[in-house]
Structure 1
Amino acid sequence: MYGLCILFGILILCRAYENIALEKQVYQRYPYAYIKMANLTSADKAVDGLKSNLSVWGGQCVMSGNYKQTATWWVNLTSILSIHHITIYYRTGNVAWGPENHYADRFLGFSLYVSNTTDKLEGTLCYKDTEFNRSTIPAVFNTTCPLHGQYVIYYNERLDWVTYPQEYSKYAYNEICELEVFGCPEPGYYGVNCSTPCPDPNCRYCHIETGACQGCKPGYQGHRCEECEFATYGDQCQETCGQCQDLTKCHYKNGTCLTGCRAGYHGALCKTISKRVDSCTDQLGFYITLGLLCGCLLLNGFCIAYIVILRQSRSQRSQKNQSELPTIKSIARETEANADYQELGETDQDKTLYKALQYTN
């Protein structure tokens, strides 16, 4: 952004903080449900640079869904940048702003967060309204917020279990006509015209007004951006060095082991197990699996042999029992023989009786 400045009585063009939210990616959690008005009320209306018509019909304002307990809208600045101040143009309906305007109570109680993610709880609270009422809240709100971050998050809530001031609306809304984030478009600079490099060369982000470091480059930490301590490296020195042969030679910025890896590891960071170690582990696993498989096969063989022997034993006993039992034919022959002997016996008895009768006569 450029503005007019006066230097020694001469009117010149000078650079000021830029609106780094202009036409950037945006999101709102609960869009207005009426689909035919989607083009008039979408989330991107808050960063289109238009704020001359603050009613829904002007197509320059965001509308959120009705009857919601929370309202969330954010803009992605595309990278972590230094912020100076934030300005909000709220929906007025193009009528006089004040206690009689029924949009004022929807604005009350809002919060602004600056975060490196879309989660407001991982960021820093820039502003929380606890002082305004329907008569005092401005339709155009401005707050200084000297922070750095990638996301600016607008949030409001009307939770069932919370008691709010009587003037607050029943439900939460994010009816923003324009949200402007003024700051430096590139990291590592500060000052009104964002042209002064941060004083500490190891500083990644510095206070946009004073130049005090607010975040170090990878490999440095602390307010003075000192090198990482022993065996640590990276962003805020939160990474741990790998299996370096000499941990004192672990690079504090990227974790590279400058003198190589300990035995069994390889790679620039010495965090990858070598193939030789992997192969030994693989062989051990192979032999364990092979042993289990052989054991299962052996057990199955014993089971099959036992079943075969058991069946053969039963078959032999059955054959022996059958050989000892008389057959049907033998039983029939014996029965016929007995019948013949019986008939002969009866015939002999008849002959004896006949002879006895003859002698008697």
Structure 2
Amino acid sequence: MMSLSGHSVYPHDVLTVLFCLLTLSQAYVNVALNKLAYRSSSYSTTDTSGTGNALRMSGGDVLNGGQCAVSESGETAYWRVNLITIHSIHHITIHFRADNVTWGPSNNVTGLFLGFSVYISNTTDRLQGTLCYKDDNFTIDTIPAVFTTTCPVHGQYVIYYNERLPGVSYPGGYSVYVTNVLCEVEVYGCTATGYFGSNCSVPCSDVNCQYCHIETGTCQGCKTGYKGHRCEMACEGGTYGAGCKETCGHCRDVNQCSINNGICLTGCNAGFKGDLCKTVCDRGSYGYDCNEICGHCRDVNQCSIITGTCFTGCDTGYQGDLCKESCDSGSYGYDCNETCGQCRDVNKCSIINGTCLTGCDADYQGNLCKTLCPSETKKE
């Protein structure tokens, strides 16, 4: 452990603890090494983002020549390391900062650590994870400078947390506020999932188990697509993913939904698209995988994504449920409900507005050829 000045401050009893920890850790790998970490606030930093500098587990932030992470004092202190992927973890070791003073009750920083908690979680929310350790026994006389707790679970984030909440009474020796003054956090476990044992070399006992207890091999989490106490059952009934907790989309055949990632292997049912078939068709399309184009609906937003039916009728010049058929000879307008006038050639009547494109038949006039000529004109 390093002080802010960079000098070692390990007393004899701490070195003894470190020797024991070294023996304990030889079989496991420090999976936190060189991983980025985050703390709730930062002391003496130029970072203005409000998140503080991310420290690396190989040594931590360099502050005044030291190797320890320091944050501002407050009601809560939060620090986490992201292991990038989920790991099977055995134990966690925390090196508290001694401030270059002999560790013990005469060291005025020990009260900052009392009451701390350690969590392992698959998300950045500690409350969604497993509480590995909650200090409710240590005093300024008994808290060690180097602390280790065994926590044989799996997770992606290791979180250190402490608090001094208003209105809460705390035991004697506890500081008024808390802060992150950590010099090293080591997370020992297996680098790959699916294994356990002192050398992380024994495959999990159950073939479809992805996360098993690092000491006993008891399954703690199934591979995606499987469930059951021993991960012996494949997902069924349109489910997939971790623990079969995800629901398949609108697959053309729900039995062809991948139990691993939910991809619809034979395509989507009518009205849906995408690999998971959970996205409705875009405006103007419908059918299987949304491969069909809506007809000439009066309102394209009222085209059924399933069948293509135009719910509010057809635009001018078209007819039928799908509005893909042109008006029959002699008709025009919305849904072809209008009848053409006395066109010289009825096949030349516009299906849109009824205009006679080649003129009117005898005795009729106007664009629609629906108006009789005046009688005087007839006599001439």
TM-score range (shorter-chain normalised) is 0.5 to 0.7
Aligned to 1:247: 254
Distance 1:173 1:265 in 2: 52
Deviation at 1:242? Answer: 2.6
Aligned to 1:331: none
Contact 2:31/2:83 (<8 A) preserved: yes
Secondary structure of the 2:92 match is: strand
Q: How many residues align?
A: 270
Q: Which has the higher helix share?
A: 1
Deviation at 1:86? Answer: 0.5
Contact 1:42/1:62 (<8 A) preserved: no
Residues 248-296 of structure 1: per-residue CA shift (max 9 Å, x gap)? 34332233445554444455544454633575498352486999xxxxx
Deviation at 1:43? Answer: 5.2
Residues 125-175 of structure 1: per-residue CA shift (max 9 Å, x gap)? 111101111111111111101011111011111111211112100001110
Letter of the 1:235 counterpart: A
1:75 aligns with 2:89: no
1:276 aligns with 2:275: no
Secondary structure of the 1:31 match is: coil
Secondary structure of the 1:21 match is: coil
Residues 78-100 of structure 1: per-residue CA shift (max 9 Å, x gap)? 11001000011111123221111
Structure-2 change in CA distance of 1:65 and 1:273 (3 Å): closer
1:227 aligns with 2:234: yes
1:218 corresponds, among 212, 215, 224, to 224
Percent identical pairs in the alignment equals 55
Distance 1:131 1:59 in 2: 30
Letter of the 2:239 counterpart: T
Aligned to 1:48: 58
Deviation at 1:224? Answer: 1.2
Consecutive unaligned residues in structure 1, runs of 5 or more: 1-13, 292-361
Structure-2 change in CA distance of 1:56 and 1:94 (3 Å): farther
Distance 1:65 1:249 in 2: 55
Runs of 4+ with deviation above 6 angstroms: 287-291
Aligned to 1:17: 28
The alignment's TM-score, normalised by the length of structure 1, stands at: 0.67
Contact 1:220/1:235 (<8 A) preserved: yes
Letter of the 2:167 counterpart: W
1:285 aligns with 2:305: no
Residues 195-235 of structure 1: per-residue CA shift (max 9 Å, x gap)? 11212221111111111111111111232112113111122
1:28 corresponds, among 23, 36, 39, to 39
Query: Which moved further from structure 2: 138-147 or 89-98?
Result: 89-98
Aligned to 1:127: 133
Deviation at 1:110? Answer: 0.5
1:139 aligns with 2:150: no
Contact 1:85/1:144 (<8 A) preserved: yes
Letter of the 1:22 counterpart: L
Distance 2:296 2:204 in 1: 53
- Counterparts of 1:52-201 in structure 2, within 5 Å, are 57-66=64-73, 68-201=74-207
Higher relative contact order (CA 8 A, sep 6+): 1
Distance 1:282 1:209 in 2: 67
The alignment's TM-score, normalised by the length of structure 2, stands at: 0.64
Letter of the 2:180 counterpart: N
Residues 62-111 of structure 1: per-residue CA shift (max 9 Å, x gap)? 11113x11111111111100100001111112322111111110110001
Distance 1:281 1:155 in 2: 61
Secondary structure of the 1:109 match is: coil
Aligned to 1:327: none
Structure-2 change in CA distance of 1:155 and 1:272 (3 Å): closer
Contact 2:297/2:313 (<8 A) preserved: no
Distance 2:84 2:107 in 1: 36
Distance 2:271 2:89 in 1: 48
Contact 2:75/2:178 (<8 A) preserved: yes
Distance 2:286 2:45 in 1: 64
Structure-2 change in CA distance of 1:252 and 1:91 (3 Å): same
Consecutive unaligned residues in structure 2, runs of 5 or more: 1-24, 303-311, 316-380
Distance 1:229 1:186 in 2: 28
Distance 2:66 2:42 in 1: 14
Letter of the 2:227 counterpart: Q
Secondary structure of the 2:286 match is: helix
Aligned to 1:344: none
Tell me the C-alpha RMSD between the 2 structures: 3.1
Letter of the 1:93 counterpart: D
Distance 1:266 1:48 in 2: 47
Distance 2:210 2:165 in 1: 39
Larger Rg: 1
Distance 1:241 1:203 in 2: 22
Deviation at 1:115? Answer: 0.9
Distance 2:136 2:151 in 1: 17
Deviation at 1:31? Answer: 0.5
Contact 1:42/1:63 (<8 A) preserved: no
